[in-house]
A and B are shown apart, each in its own frame.
Chain A
């Protein structure tokens, strides 16, 4: 008897079990929805036949309820149900029947779907309307427009034009006007009067100008913008299949760099706005603000929940978020409902991730032996022993460990259902998504079930938004040693069946087998719950003056479990258990609980006097984050099926921590607009943060920005140019912002317990030890960023061609950095102290341009984005002029150094290999242990020694420029999208390749230098990572990381209107999409998009991700 499994897990299992089950579920889901929608038109389709004479009304109503799905709602006191009626009807609509039943009475009927409300006329606000029909044709200059909306203004009553652009609509006498709208066209409102025929010619709208973008604490029309703000709409984001919207932003916005943080399923992307924003690892991400609530870290939710994403790029726009804005701000607005009929949307896709290329390894035992023989011959008393000696069956094995550890064609799927609608006073949007992805390494997967419900209420001067989001996600993590193990493990070892609890161990390899088996069998799971709620209350105190309270909170709970089951390794020949068995299972469980709340109070005053428009805004804001965690463990379990702490017998451990940080800000902003011609915006924010000592707690961040719409000037209007250049705007801004992304409590030195000693002989006791283990800096203060921006927005031919360009200089000062202090100071090899270490500059420009061509059958848009950023460290305050960093090798590879970009590679140049005895003798004067076939380091400073003084600047992990191109043509019912992106001039240190060299496993090593292969360029094989041939201080493994990639190709087909009308569907699109179609690069590692956290590791490939392509098939429906 199996135990009950939680619903979620069952659901996952059933989905994964067979594709068939999934397909059936999928079809049923669609059918269910179709069914629901079809019945909306029930009253229009259902024909009834009745025959009664002088029968009480109630019986007739009962009969109708029996015969059909209609049901009546009435108050028995107000409706004379005993009234005798006669009726004879054959195949009539319900409305006809009801008309007959109630003509001449005061009863008014209303049909809502299947509900029929009966009430006396005096109770209904509106008298029974007299129907009137209006018909006509909607055209534009190219001909009729099918699918245009015709709506009675102010209501949800409306129709859609047919293929010939014709419509006909029934209206009541209340209707005053009709509104005609179509995407890309200017909406028109036409008074009805006595007309019965209304033909409309639509004009193309000036795209984007009247669009509203979200800015910090408010919204603004694009035309009024003075800062550098970019917007991405949901339609664009939804085209990329990924767990997080962050990845979908790649190539969409000029001035932001998006890179996957890791290849693990469900991971978010790292985004950098306008170059590296800080010296500190983990302090380079922008601030995310979701529906007005600043998030802790990068929010992880699906594109399906999003309406739009705005990026505040310049400090003037961002500085309203003061202390956290120096890396830019990303505003996420989730979907809202619109008043009107309920809309239902369903989006889904299914895809696979195909592994295209892996690091080429020696997976052939004979090849492997050859390389080891070369090594053996080169070293004098290398004893020639390999584990193969003891592994007599080894020669038969040619195990490809990488294949064993990876999952090809891992599935990815997403289902999202959205309901939205509402009345004038209440609108709602409900999105539920389910996302599932299997990882590329075995034992890794991610699934997320999320629901977001947004509602808006309004009544008189009062309005309110309430947003609620719930996320439940589970993550299976592969043991992090697998990628490295795949490289380390030798091909002569037999592949192992890790599902067994008894595993054969050949020869003396038992210990090595143990570590693989235990990594493979490890169960590492995360289960997260995330609930967030936010609410704002708005009250218009008097005309133009609105008070607003904004409150929100989130609770994030993550449970982690790591279970290492016990297993037995037995001798291949004798069957006896070996001492390398893993007899004692271990369990570690822990939980993180994060809480965050914010409360803000603000007032906005908005008023126009003639050509003058003023918006004044003031706010106070308070925020607090609490992060608590505990971890517990036990060993020795009764069985591997018992995976709870109470089942463990030995060695309980427990630990826990708590961190709290608080932030308080006061904000003021003034916006002034003169005749849409001159715009000014000035803001200031004063923030206080608990992360700093009392002396440096507060910071003030002012900003100002200006805009000039030249096209409003009469000289411009009168000049001939306005017929080509429709709009032109110049923007300029100056702003400051801060950075407080450092750990809590760093300003005070702490003492740590647990540094204990043992005293006593037989009954030993633990003598508790406490000591200071790190240094503090009471004088740390804000990192500040001063940014100047100048921008130009141009629109040609009424918006057919648009261009936006921005140039900026950002000076960052007092950069916070955890400076590595010398081990001799006593805090270990990774001891750091946080300091304001120096200044940095980012300057660059970003250009983006879109061309839209519309025709009746064929139209397209083409968007090109180009961005360039130059980063330079301008000052370091440290005694040491070089701050070292970069992990993944024996030596640091990257530096922060005055005059160079942050995270620059400083490496020792090499000049080929030592190939002759003479060369060797000469080189041995510098490096005494050198051998033939070793890399020849260049003694740059000529002092006869090879050391860190010989390192020279060799580029950085940041590209010189980046570009992307999106081409989006549509032909009739087909739409197509192709997106290219690329970087130029970035360097990658291929650290994972060096590891494969050190383990003599890389294919290249087959062609290594040996006396028999004297022209080879690959250095002689060595056995140690710290040998000069491998050591991470030479340029040997540094490569050009430039690439150009066909990132996404998508082909969609929209169902014909005719069919859709029949099915009552308003949108039905099927598409196929391929991501990472082709990559052009010289980089020899796996993927040039190496996806690393942190600026010092930005260009270091630690190699967890093979090159993959994703193929997806998707369906989008709307009712």
Chain B
């Protein structure tokens, strides 16, 4: 009896002495903490790869980012059922438009990842050469992400984070001036340019190189209208002899010829390393643009004027590349259209029911040589961010803007044209202005349509020709015929049975450069960021 009593008391007493701290300390068994990471070279490489991973994000250069963004330009129309893309096209974007919301959010996620690497590597006990290498790649990416943010949002006045937020105040940073933003971009790209390797081994292809940093830096200068500086950078690329045009332009949009001689920077996608529909290392771009009959969503389509432009790209009959062809190689690599006589997803183009007043489909970055896009909706085709042809045309532009030497500029334009079997420009026909107009209206859209970080939209807004283009386009009546698209004649307009359509009417009415050249800051940023407009 007494024994029992004592036992009871001991058991209760001993429990209360049990170490509370041990019992109450639970380590997260799912992953490690921030403190335990960032030690080895391997850790930093992983941190860097996570920073690269942002490139694949859906609204950066994944499926939505690489398609919907083009809806703002003058050669693209959105599908009639995607209301967010219609807003981009009609210049009625709101602060809650999914593109506006997500591109912002995803680019800043990339910047956050970059800042983690940069902050932790500063004090890491690792070799200096390794640290510099990692830092160069990371800063390239951070600079690129800021460049894309600044070129799309709020006149380039965006929020700058160069470190990982630690206190409440650091979450709530205010917007910086455009100048500060571009200073940061140039700093990052400068460092990257100085420290990145010229090439990577085959198994590391996809990582940033000197060429990528140089070309992007040139592009930033160009967009900032610093033509002399831009020209210098493009010249470095050309002089480096690291790159040359591919014999076939379509190599730049397919799976077979990734990292070809023309490629300067690509976003690497793969549907093989993580197969299946959940893979976040593959892109949905192909399926987004494919017609429904090939398993796609046709989120964007070529505008009528662009189809006409493609048809009118003059081919050089003497060039064997054009044997038996009516249309230029680059036109056929870019889109398909009624009457092009081509095969698209293993069927004659005509076999596709062109509905909703459609006249064509986009071919770039699609698996159109297959019977259909894979039903996983995933594709492994890399996004080519910068390629040599683009650099040639940008270089030509900088020449025209600086020395104005038409002969040199036209040489680069002709290199691009010749590769696709297009008739070369005759120097006699062009002065600097005419050539610039040609670049703006014909050469760059034909060569670079639907590529990069919405190249065409960035081009027409930096040139300030959006209003002029939209005004022209909104006037044109097109007649839609069963096997042909054409500008409506006076007789067509009187024909009661004719299907006559215009495009860009709403867009022209709404467009106002001050409001529409840049996206607004997303609503969520405004409402969650107490310090965004200063305190």
Contact = CB atoms under 8 A, between A and B. Distances in A.
Task: Report whether chain A binds chain B.
Answer: yes
Interface residues of B, number: 120
A824 B159 contact: yes
B125 interface: no
B501 A383 contact: yes
Interface string B442-462: 000000000000000000000
Interface in B13-31: 15-16, 18, 20-21, 23-26, 28-31
Interface in A598-623: 601, 603, 620, 622
Given A380-B505, A383-B80, A891-B96, A620 B171 contact: no
Contact of A890 (B96, B168, B173): B96
B239 interface: no
B165 interface: yes
Given A759-B204, A880-B530, A1026-B97, A390 B281 contact: no
A948 B37 CA distance: 41
B269 interface: yes
A755 B270 contact: no
Given A511-B292, A579-B295, A1023-B83, A772 B34 contact: yes
Nearest to A578: B293
A616 B297 CA distance: 73
Given A744-B26, A823-B105, A1024-B83, A771 B50 contact: yes
Question: Which of B37, B106, B109, B172 has the most chain A CB atoms closer than 10 A to its own CB?
Answer: B109
Interface string B87-114: 1000010101100011011101111110
Given A583-B375, A757-B49, A620 B525 contact: no
A924 to B, nearest CB: 11
A55 B524 CA distance: 101
B489 interface: no
Contact of B528 (A390, A579, A880, A890): A880
Contacts of B102: 829
B294 A1031 contact: no
Nearest to A622: B23
Interface in A509-545: 510-511, 539, 541
B134 interface: no
A659 B30 CA distance: 8
A769 B372 CA distance: 32
A757 B35 contact: no
Nearest to B275: A651
A826 B112 contact: yes
B506 A1031 contact: no
A757 B275 CA distance: 14
B276 A749 contact: no
A595 to B, nearest CB: 14
B433 interface: no
B274 interface: yes
B306 interface: no
B75 to A, nearest CB: 16
A928 B510 contact: yes
B259 interface: yes
Interface in B483-535: 501-506, 509-510, 512, 515, 522-532
Interface in A290-320: none
B52 A757 contact: yes
B35 A822 contact: no
A596 interface: no
Contacts of A751: 31-34, 37
A900 B429 CA distance: 72
Nearest to A381: B505
Interface string B1-19: 0001100100110011010
Contacts of B530: 878-881
A753 interface: yes
Nearest to B31: A750
Given A622-B15, A745-B28, A767-B45, A758 B269 contact: yes
B205 interface: yes
A771 B372 contact: no
A434 to B, nearest CB: 38
Interface in A738-782: 744-745, 748-753, 755-761, 763-772, 775-776
B108 A825 contact: yes
A265 interface: no
Interface in A861-883: 878-882
Interface stretch (B210-218, B336-344, B352-360, B361-369): B352-360
A827 B292 contact: no
A547 interface: yes
B524 A823 contact: yes
B380 to A, nearest CB: 8
Given A666-B16, A820-B528, A826-B112, A761 B270 contact: no
B79 to A, nearest CB: 10
Interface residues on A, range: 35 or more
A603 B5 CA distance: 12
B29 A658 contact: yes
A821 interface: yes
Interface in A262-298: none
Question: Which of B92, B105, B297 has the most chain A CB atoms closer than 10 A to its own CB?
Answer: B105
A653 interface: yes
Interface stretch (A231-239, A332-340, A689-697): A689-697
Nearest to B97: A1026
A822 B172 contact: yes
A662 interface: yes
Nearest to B22: A662
B525 A769 contact: no
Interface string A923-935: 0000011000000
A822 B52 contact: no
B49 A879 contact: no
A750 B34 contact: yes
Interface string B35-78: 10100000101111111110110000000000000000000000
B312 interface: no
Contact of A823 (B51, B86, B278, B528): B528
B273 interface: yes
Given A383-B501, A389-B355, A879-B168, A825 B527 contact: no
24 contacts: A383-B357, A385-B355, A385-B357, A579-B294, A660-B29, A748-B28, A756-B50, A756-B274, A758-B56, A760-B203, A768-B46, A769-B51, A769-B53, A822-B524, A823-B108, A828-B105, A828-B106, A879-B168, A879-B171, A881-B530, A890-B94, A929-B510, A1023-B83, A1031-B94
Interface of A: 379-383, 385, 389-390, 508, 510-511, 539, 541, 547, 578-580, 583-584, 601, 603, 620, 622, 635, 650-651, 653, 657-664, 666, 688-690, 694, 697-698, 744-745, 748-753, 755-761, 763-772, 775-776, 820-829, 833, 835, 878-882, 884, 890-892, 928-929, 947-948, 1023-1027, 1031
* In the complex, the 5 A-B pairs of residues with the closest C-beta atoms, listed nearest first: A826-B112, A880-B530, A651-B276, A769-B50, A1024-B83
